[in-house]
Amino acid sequence: MKRVLTGGMLAALVLFLSAGWGLAGNGKGGGGQGGGGYGTGVSIICSGAPVEFTGVVSDVSYAGSGMEVTKNDGSVVMVYGIGPYRYWDLLEIDRPVVGDLVTVLGMEVDFNGTLKIVAMSIKLGDQTAQLREACVDGTGGQPLWRGARQNQVQ
């Protein structure tokens, strides 16, 4: 009886863990061709409004996923989706740090009632880091550092 109980518990544990891995997608997206999470080919990033501004980096998040920029008019904006360090290394461009003057091309996206600016590209000095695929007809916006797209660095 003890073996049956132990075997049953082990089988349940394997089933439980494998369901999580299957749903996670292992970084492959899963939101259809747009990859934005809707499953319809429509990208949530590309549903936003394009924005462009210049300012000085006033803070960089600890996790490295975003930065705060003080715009030329004095307002402060949080910019999300600036990509991992390894992607910037691959581009051979120094990642923005506090004090750098940057120009951000992004999309202002409504995430459940909260507007966030997601970077599409960042210009730092005379170099521009392209971070996401261009939005075309509501699709695109996928990070260039993910999956097979990371090998398309130009």
CATH tag, 34-152:
2.40.50.140
Q: At 50, which helix (H) or strand (E)?
A: strand 49-60
What is the number of other CB atoms lying within 10 angstroms of the CB of residue 83?
Answer: 22
The token pair at 81 is 């989706």
Residues 6+ apart with CB under 8 A from 14: none
Interval 105-120: pLDDT, tens? 999 999 999 999 999 9
Domain residue extents for the chain: 2-30, 34-152
| Cβ-based neighbours of 73, under 8 Å, separated by 6 or more | none
Q: Which residues pair with 111 in a beta bridge?
A: 114
For the segment 141-148, the average pLDDT, to the nearest whole number, is 84
Does 63 have pLDDT greater than 90?
A: no
- pTM for this model (two decimals): 0.70
